[in-house]
Amino acid sequence: MFDRRSLLIGGGAAAVAAAFAPRMAFAKAATDRRFVFIIQRGAADGLSMVAPVGDPAFSGVRGVLGEDLAGARKLDAMFALHPALVQTGALYGKGQALFAHAIASPYRDRSHFDGQNVLETGGVRAYQQKDGWLNRLLGVVPTEERSAIAVAATVPMALRGSREVASYAPSALPDASEDLLRRVTMLYEGDKQLHALWDEALQTRTLTGDLAGDNGRNAAATGALAAKLLLPANGARIAMIETGGWDTHSAQKGRLQAQLKGLDAMIAALQAGLGPVWDRTMVLVATEFGRTVAVNGTNGTDHGTASAAMLLGGAVKGGRVIADWPGLAPAALYEGRDLKPTMGLDAFIGGAVAGHFALDPAPTMAALFPASAKARATEGLVRA
Amino acid sequence: MSEVSIALNRFGLGARPDEALPTDPRAWLTAQLARYQPRPAVLAGLAGTPVIAAEIMDYQEQRRAVRQERRAAGAQQPDAAMTAGSAMQPVQRPPRDPDQMAARRQLRRTHYEAAIDARMASALVTPAPFAERMVHFWANHFAVSADKIVVTPLVGAFEFEAIRPHVTGKFRDMLGAMARHPAMLLYLDQAQSVGPGSRFAQGAALRGNKRGLNENFARELMELHTLGVRTGYSQADVTELARGLTGWSVAGIGRRAGGQGDPGAFRFAPAVHEPGARSLLGQSYAEGGEAQGQAMLDALARHPATATHVATKLARHFAGDDPPPAMVTRIAAAFRSSDGDLPTVYRAIIASPEAWAAGTSKFRTPWEWAVAAMRATGQREVASGSAVGLLNQLGQPVWKPGQPIGYDDIAATWAGPDAVMRRVEAAERIAARAPETDARALAAKLYPAALSDATATAIARAESPGQGLALLLVAPETMRR
């Protein structure tokens, strides 16, 4: 049993490794990759994040929501970035941010909960797959990159499955005494579920050191925390961060502004916290579906279909928006109301992680998205 | 596991050391349905919707005045505080007026936190813990989330006024009460929804304002509250229900649609209602003002899919994460044959052998665990604000599921490594504050004929009474029910 206090005084990674030698080996190579999935729960409005200001129908259908984008940073002839995404825009300028538009998972109805299930499990229908694609990814990445953590108090669906993952959210509770921890270990010995959870909890505790002081209540702190969990050589290589609050049925303008500012700060904190490791990092930002093209009666938008996704990081072949743009004219819309999906989110995710971890695209697609086996991974998302 | 232990823990809220053990577990549960108190003493002192809504209205008016002043002074400050609902806090907020901040804090503390303290106190002292569990179940079924700020001060009132009075009544009555409560009407944007063909919208259009339909409430009514997702309704049904419900609004607070009346009172606003007949799930509903929407709710409440949806959730709550199909069928049949009479439904649950099977225990949610831990230590009241803090730390803030589907009811959501660590930390704190207790005797009382050797041994070997109690509070027996 380790003694956490002496560990903190010693402060070294060696002490951590010594305490957990059988379970936590150091990474073999320095070429390790980091992958972060930021989920936007509630259906983020892709048409405001990456706005198709060059579409002739845009300002007409978007009314008050389009006004925000008047002075926004132009990404190319068609698209502009929401002004709240300042740091993200800077990454785009450096060629480290890529946006995909008119993109959607295979899900075509408009329930958040089913849509999130499809996004997280990688199925074609809700509840078809029993585990998450991020958990299945752990089975195909190189051995030394298999440790994953949810930056949350509980494990989200995308990370659930047969492979063990950790979860961590900063706690403001006083630390339990070492003696109690030791006795709890003995108490859980015969209980399979609690034994496994407890084992993970103790390991995570050793990695996070004095992070309990971070309250994690704002997005930047969560980004910084994720970076701390990902940075150490024996830390996690894959992380998932949950963000909520994207379901902007009313007064979307101000709410989305605040949401995007938080997301931008989270990304900036991740980048800052990872330092040189940012060059080997890929961050995926995705949502379960998009929102209606037209503004509703309460200056918000209702549940739609296609949205936008982002890839960020030093390894991303960025500085571009990829889209087979369907247009916003009434006849071009999905069911007469939503942005039509012309790109598959599954293929995009499969191509991104395969490129990032130097995996063969076809088997990666088959492992992550077994139900959409015919879809080919999107190529060329990662720098050679 | 013994049946007494199952009755106390799986059906109840965990045993209290000062209460006698039931001798006939099923009769003990059934008798609670008559003993249940919709408004027990610990809730009696709380402010109701009229008082809270009046305060919200004052606050909103004050804010409007300040904003106008600022605008006049040329200093524009974006402030979406009372309308925004966001789990992700913006990193920097514009500076606020100190008086406004004080008023906002007051609204939060006096109503949200006081209501949580009272909810916890009620769970600690209730003479009917099974019925009290059903309050928590239904409040989560008809979830509103306090992270939408206009809803924050009203969430307690929602549970106490719309849910509690109907827990031993009819499903339709609970459905109707929640659909008229301001917390729900504001949470799911119903209060702002305007019929595009209504007099109000036509007038607004003449002034150059576009006001229209918001289908949020209608969608969740069908998907979450009644039929359940993927039960055959279409986008057109969602839109039709949304049209039928236009005019269901709140007086005084929220957006202008509600118009005049006592602040917070339900108000049917004819000027906002979409005229004409509606068609829902193949049935036609003649124009009739509020009655049109009520007739649609009648149909949704009686629909067989609703019975199955509710039965599935109840079976999951009592018989494990994978609800046994036979039990679902039985509960759904009780629901249908009694026209949604909830005591009939509860009796069907109690009569289901699946709920009494030893191998189907549930991993307690943070709320369930906190209640059980405090009941176990004999607590009868909570220090002001402490229940809020505890549940935040445990990862299940009270009335803040963040989405209208409410909190999950399966182990995978709650049984995380970090969550277990937090319970251990909290258990040490709860035990430290509890009066000197012999955890060995207490363990036998909490889990009659159901205590494992491992737990008994761990408690017996503890280095102090406090540590023994902490171990009991995180033992597998207390982590699950």
Least Cα separation, residue B421 to chain A (angstroms): 6
Instruction: Determine phi and psi for A98, rounding to 5 degrees.
Output: -130, 135
| Whether A121 contacts chain B with CB within 8 A | no
pLDDT in tens, B224-262: 999 999 999 999 999 999 999 999 999 988 655 456 788
* Polymer length in residues for chain A: 384
> Nearest-CA neighbor of A48 among A348, A259, A265, A288?
A259
For chains A and B, count residue pairs whose Cβ atoms are closer than 8 Å: 214
> Nearest-CA neighbor of B256 among B314, B315, B209?
B209
Which residues on neighbouring strands pair with residue A309, listed in sequence order? A100
Whole-angstrom CA distances from B420 to A4, B226, B376, B455 are 18, 34, 18, 16
> Nearest-CA neighbor of B364 among B223, B270, B480?
B480
Q: Do B80 and A258 touch (CB under 8 A)?
A: yes
Closest A-chain CA to B211:
A297
Q: Do A303 and B219 touch (CB under 8 A)?
A: yes
> How far is Cα A383 from Cα B148, in angstroms, rounded to an integer?
42
| Whether B231 contacts chain A with CB within 8 A | no
Closest B-chain CA to A304:
B235
How confident is the model at residue B266, as a pLDDT? 95
Q: Find out whether B389 and B430 touch, Cβ atoms under 8 Å.
A: no
Q: A247 versus B177: which is more confidently predicted?
A: B177
What is the pLDDT averaged over residues B102-117? Answer: 83
- DSSP-derived pairing of the beta strands A238-243 and A148-151: parallel
Q: Find out whether B32 and B389 touch, Cβ atoms under 8 Å.
A: no
Treating both helix axes as pointing N-terminal to C-terminal, what angle do B304-319 and B325-337 enclose, rounded to 10 degrees? 130
pLDDT beyond 80 at B203: yes
Which residues in chain A are closer than 8 Å to B405, comparing Cβ atoms?
112-113
User: Two tokens at B446?
Assistant: 């909490």
**CA A87, A90, A95, A97 torsion: positive or negative?**
positive
Q: Find out whether A264 and A222 touch, Cβ atoms under 8 Å.
A: no
DSSP-based three-state secondary structure for B445: helix
Work out the widest C-alpha separation in chain B, in whole angstroms.
79
User: Two tokens at A12?
Assistant: 């070294």
User: Two tokens at B207?
Assistant: 């002034």
The region that residue A261 occupies, defined by phi over 0 for left and psi between -120 and 50 for alpha, beta otherwise, is alpha
> How far is Cα A286 from Cα A242, in angstroms, rounded to an integer?
11
> How far is Cα B327 from Cα B316, in angstroms, rounded to an integer?
10
Q: B96 versus B129: which is more confidently predicted?
A: B129
Which residues on neighbouring strands pair with residue A322, listed in sequence order? A100
Nearest to A298 among B90, B189, B425 (CB): B189
pTM: 0.72
Which residues in chain B are closer than 8 Å to A260, comparing Cβ atoms?
none
Which residues in chain A are closer than 8 Å to B89, comparing Cβ atoms?
217-219, 258, 262
pLDDT beyond 70 at B76: no
Least Cα separation, residue A166 to chain B (angstroms): 7
DSSP-based three-state secondary structure for B276: coil
> Nearest-CA neighbor of B243 among B206, B209, B284?
B284
> How far is Cα B90 from Cα B95, in angstroms, rounded to an integer?
13
Helices first, then strands: H and E counts in chain B: 25, 4
> How far is Cα A157 from Cα A154, in angstroms, rounded to an integer?
10
| Whether A20 contacts chain B with CB within 8 A | no
Nearest to A183 among B255, B462, B479 (CB): B462
The predicted complex's ipTM stands at 0.87
DSSP per residue over A24-74, as a string? -PPPS-TT--EEEEEEETT---HHHHEE-TTSTTHHHHHHHHHHTTTTPEE
Q: Do A219 and B89 touch (CB under 8 A)?
A: yes
| Whether B192 contacts chain A with CB within 8 A | yes
How confident is the model at residue A175, as a pLDDT? 60
pLDDT in tens, B287-300: 999 999 999 999 99
> Nearest-CA neighbor of A247 among A216, A219, A306, A287?
A287
Q: Find out whether A311 and A283 touch, Cβ atoms under 8 Å.
A: yes
Q: Find out whether A72 and A83 touch, Cβ atoms under 8 Å.
A: yes
pLDDT tens-place values along chain A, 384 residues long:
222 222 222 223 333 333 333 333 333 443 589 999 999 988 999 999 999 999 999 999 999 999 878 789 999 999 999 999 999 999 999 999 999 999 999 999 998 878 999 999 999 999 899 999 999 999 999 887 889 999 876 688 999 999 989 888 755 555 677 778 889 999 999 999 999 999 888 876 644 333 233 333 468 888 998 999 999 988 899 999 988 778 888 888 988 888 898 899 999 999 999 999 999 999 999 999 999 999 998 889 999 999 999 999 999 999 999 999 999 999 999 999 999 999 999 999 999 999 999 999 999 999 999 998 678 999 999 987
Nearest to A197 among B86, B196, B420 (CB): B420
Show Cβ contacts of residue B209 under 8 Å, excluding neighbours closer than 6 positions.
none
Nearest to A250 among B189, B363, B425 (CB): B189
Q: Beta strands of chain A (E only): which ranges? A: 34-40, 50-51, 73-74, 80-81, 97-104, 148-151, 166-167, 238-243, 281-287, 307-312, 320-322, 343-344
Q: Tell me the pLDDT band of B67, cut-offs 50, 70 and 90.
A: confident
Q: Find out whether A260 and A251 touch, Cβ atoms under 8 Å.
A: no
User: Judged by CB atoms within 8 Å, which residues 135-154 of B form the interface with A?
Assistant: 147
With 0-12 / 13-18 / 19 or more C-beta atoms within 10 angstroms meaning exposed / middle / buried, residue B440 is middle
Side chain identity at residue B204, one-letter code: A
> How far is Cα A135 from Cα A147, in angstroms, rounded to an integer?
10
What is the pLDDT averaged over residues B332-339? Answer: 98
pLDDT beyond 70 at B35: yes
> How far is Cα B10 from Cα B358, in angstroms, rounded to an integer?
10
DSSP-based three-state secondary structure for A304: coil
